[in-house]
Amino acid sequence: MAIGFLQNPIEYLKGVGPLRADLLKKELGIFTYEDLLNHFPFRHIDRTRVSVISELTQEADFAQVAGVVLQVEILGQRAGKRLVAQFKDKTGIMELTWFKGINWIQKTIIPGQSYLVFGRLGFFNGRPQFVHPEVERIDSAQPMEKNYMEPVYPTTEKLKARGLGGRQLAKLTQMLITQLSPAVLPELFSLSQTKELGLLGRLEAYQQIHFPANAEKAAQALKRLKFEEFFVAQLRMQLVRAQRHHQSAGVVFEKVGDAFNRYYSTCLPFELTGAQKRVLKEIRTDTAKGRQMNRLLQGDVGSGKTIVALLAMLLAVDNGYQACIMAPTEILAQQHFASIQTSLSTIGLSVALLTGSTKTAERKKLLAALEEGSLSLLVGTHALIEETVQFKKLGLVVIDEQHRFGVAQRARLWKKAAVPPHILVMTATPIPRTLAMTAYGDLDYSVIDELPPGRKPIQTVHRYERDRSRVMEFIRTEIDKGRQIYIIYPLIEESAKLDYENLMKGYEEVKAFFPEPNYWISMVHGRQPAGQKEANMQRFVSGDTQIMVATTVIEVGVNVPNATVMMIESAEKFGLSQLHQLRGRVGRGAEKSYCILLTPPSIGKEAKERMKIMVQTASGFEIAEKDLQLRGPGEIEGTRQSGALNFKLASVIQDRPLLEFAREQAARILDLDPTLVKPENQLLRAYLQQQKGSVNWSKIS
């Protein structure tokens, strides 16, 4: 028995067989021994602790008592029908109640018999009771073991019905575990490393997480396995990154030249913030090294990422390379194009725009210019990825609002040059730093953590339906001062039809309140043809309309400095980071701006919490942190597909210190031994090699 043992199909395990194997596969996704080993108990029943009825208190969540069933009766009718057993120990009497499976329970619970009863403790009229407890005859074949923490496994009704309830799963797992050895389940760390880390060994951890000797051991086992999850994920990403650093040739931007300098000294409309300067320096250093830069630039909405991108693009031009920036929507691409074009006109550089709606003739000209190298700067959408787009000498790719693009899409841009271009990925989705490094650990990381000076804070308020007319009056005063307004409606996939109707109804209401010709309204939503969307957006951007009624299609990047009010309808339906993104559409000019969150009078507790957080804090990073706590990592935009933040046991929220520790350890090991060739890292290397989807070792020398 050796490595490979755990890959055995589950039907080979004694007591499983083809029928049960089928069920295990279908119901729990358990295909192999390894899957079963990784089917962890969600808790343990401490069979060593038996309480007495008189001492049961409201504080206890779960309890176990031993006693005798006195009488069993069926009470109530239909939905209220239940089976109630009086249960007695030396100190008192309590009730056990079942609403379901009454017939079966009635057959198994016998008055006069002794039972061990375990369940979630409830109180009724001050008296303790169990509803649907687990019961076990005390004098049954197996005597009670001492020091026994019984694992409770997730299972399903179907499995239970086929004799594969939690207890049977425990038996199978027990059988599997007795067959384990270090040869079958190798350690990842050398002895001294394990000791240094202060962790249980791997084999022991698996034994103890299923069948712990006591609660403390269970906790240690959990810690070790969580650490392992974090550590392996971190190590993989850091390896990819290290590999890129050591291996990949990169375009060299050796100098800062004319375009950059002239733009910097004559066209820059403001002084860069300290954070912007720092990031530029990071990019500058990175791109001069002769290896490919792969940098994630994170910065809150409005922190000024665009100018950093532009300057980096000029750096490319100064070194004889082409550069492009890809935006997730046509609107954004156009906006970037317009602002880059204006700001570059004075230094005589030309830039082109390529999107899905670029006309054929123009596209032809543009593609030819790209290929022969007469065009240096290109702004575009997904259209940039297409095969037909060929650069002569692509040196830098900037990807704006990266969470809108998949990794595969990014990779296609890479391939547009013999030597891979530098990549700068920008995102406004605020992710706490540690998590960013976890989710994007294969990228280098920069952050603009400072807003341009003079920004007036956006005043955020939470208002209810009943305040609507006052809110509208306020909006009128803003418009009459010459400002522009966003009114945003939710459009959620699951309730698209209803939401759409609400949007239309809302639009009519707004129109009734703000009639033409004094007021003009744009409406933008996902069901419009691209051209129409574009035109409506453009009218708002140019100031022809004062009000923009829209769904979240406008969420990213749009820049209308004259807009001062962001009103969000049914704000309770939005997530925190989305609300924050929307809020970021205002406060971009000199005037004081407002964000109004409108909700029905009664909203859920969590929604209330979200409104409160929005009103209280302006920092995207703080909001991201709260969002994470409220919703969990699965919901963070941009990481959802990658699953990089979702682990089986570990939680990037609750186990943050452990994550940090694992990250440091991975870095430390790679620091000393970047390609894992030292003897003490051979177990680790073997493990990584054996795992599927492993790092491409041929590229690591």
**List of residues 6+ apart from 317 with CB closer than 8 A:** 257, 259, 260, 323, 349, 376, 377
> According to the binding rule CB under 5 A, does residue 133 interact with Mg ion?
no
In whole angstroms, the minimum distance from the beta carbon of 82 to ligand ADP comes to: 59
The interface region with Mg ion, picked from 42-50, 502-510, 544-552, 556-564 by CB under 5 A, is: 556-564
In whole angstroms, the minimum distance from the beta carbon of 343 to ligand ADP comes to: 9
Over the window 576 to 605, marking each residue x when it contacts ligand ADP by CB under 6 A and - when it does not, the resulting string is ------------x-----------------
Token pair for 501: 């109707």
Token pair for 216: 């403390």
In whole angstroms, the minimum distance from the beta carbon of 308 to ligand ADP comes to: 8
In whole angstroms, the minimum distance from the beta carbon of 428 to Mg ion comes to: 6
Task: Note whether 61 and 120 are within 8 A (CB).
Answer: yes
> According to the binding rule CB under 6 A, does residue 276 interact with ligand ADP?
yes
Cβ count near 82 (within 10 Å): 15
Nearer to ligand ADP, 181 or 342 (CB): 342
> According to the binding rule CB under 5 A, does residue 557 interact with Mg ion?
yes
Report DSSP letters for 438-499, one per residue: HHTTTSEEEEE-SPPTTPPPPEEEEEEGGGHHHHHHHHHHHHHTT-EEEEE----GGGHHHH
With contacts defined by CB under 6 A, how many residues of the chain interact with ligand ADP?
17
> According to the binding rule CB under 6 A, does residue 306 interact with ligand ADP?
yes
Report DSSP letters for 314-378, one per residue: HHHHHTT-EEEEE-SSHHHHHHHHHHHHHHHHTTT--EEEE-TT--HHHHHHHHHHHHHT---EE
> According to the binding rule CB under 6 A, does residue 272 interact with ligand ADP?
yes
* Helix pair 274-287, 305-318: axis angle to 10 deg: 30
Over the window 434 to 463, marking each residue x when it contacts ligand ADP by CB under 6 A and - when it does not, the resulting string is ------------------x-----------
The binder of ligand ADP chosen from 559, 617, 651, 675 (CB under 6 A): 559
Over the window 682 to 701, marking each residue x when it contacts ligand ADP by CB under 6 A and - when it does not, the resulting string is --------------------
Four-point Cα dihedral 5, 7, 12, 14, nearest 10: 60
> According to the binding rule CB under 6 A, does residue 304 interact with ligand ADP?
yes
Length of the chain: 701
Bridge-based pairing state of the strands 322-326 and 377-380: parallel
The binder of ligand ADP chosen from 30, 159, 225, 307 (CB under 6 A): 307
Task: Note whether 468 and 513 are within 8 A (CB).
Answer: no
> According to the binding rule CB under 6 A, does residue 301 interact with ligand ADP?
yes
Residue with the shortest CB distance to Mg ion: 557
Round to the nearest angstrom and report the end-to-end CA distance of the chain: 32
Sign of CA dihedral 612, 615, 621, 622: negative
In whole angstroms, the minimum distance from the beta carbon of 270 to ligand ADP comes to: 4
Nearer to ligand ADP, 401 or 499 (CB): 401
| Distance between CA atoms of residues 509 and 575, nearest Å | 25
> According to the binding rule CB under 5 A, does residue 328 interact with Mg ion?
no
In whole angstroms, the minimum distance from the beta carbon of 547 to ligand ADP comes to: 21
| Distance between CA atoms of residues 13 and 39, nearest Å | 15
The interface region with ligand ADP, picked from 161-169, 269-277, 472-480, 654-662 by CB under 6 A, is: 269-277
Which residues contact ligand ADP by CB under 6 A? 270, 272-273, 276, 299, 301-307, 428, 452, 559, 561, 588
Site of interaction with Mg ion (CB under 5 A)? 557
